[in-house]
Structure 1
């Protein structure tokens, strides 16, 4: 499945990159910019970043389940990522654009 149409990046490429990053350090915080940097790409319109965050979460959950990491660490890590993702989505929805000023 094509995730980023600006750079023609598939979901498999993103999953492979995330897995490689997790192999380096399984508890590092992985964000879309880090994934794109590892692929030597850059976000252009950044419309794919919410989908990339979802792929990061799914891939990280599967990675830790396969490596038999302790469950309490997985749940804490994944819940923090989901909270961060939801806070950023809410902030984006509430953000007013410069052309919509009240004063």
Structure 2
């Protein structure tokens, strides 16, 4: 079986991953509007939320693929990390720092 890398996945895969993560970002933005943290027509924040969520979802997808996690679990984790957005990226950063710090001589 050929080894997977980011270039071996098809457009449909990337569309569902970024779409699901962006949907999580929309839900997060909606929650912020409902709680009064932001205004409904704050387009810049909405776009930022969606972009950050899509990126977090993509990173989650690649990590799940590397760990050979079941596709349904991967989809759930992509959605959750999309909803988390920047918080998910912060957690990934902390995980990477810890892991890389332990591997250094």
TM-score where L is the length of structure 1: 0.29
Higher percent of residues as strand: 1
Higher relative contact order (CA 8 A, sep 6+): 2
Higher percent of residues as helix: 2
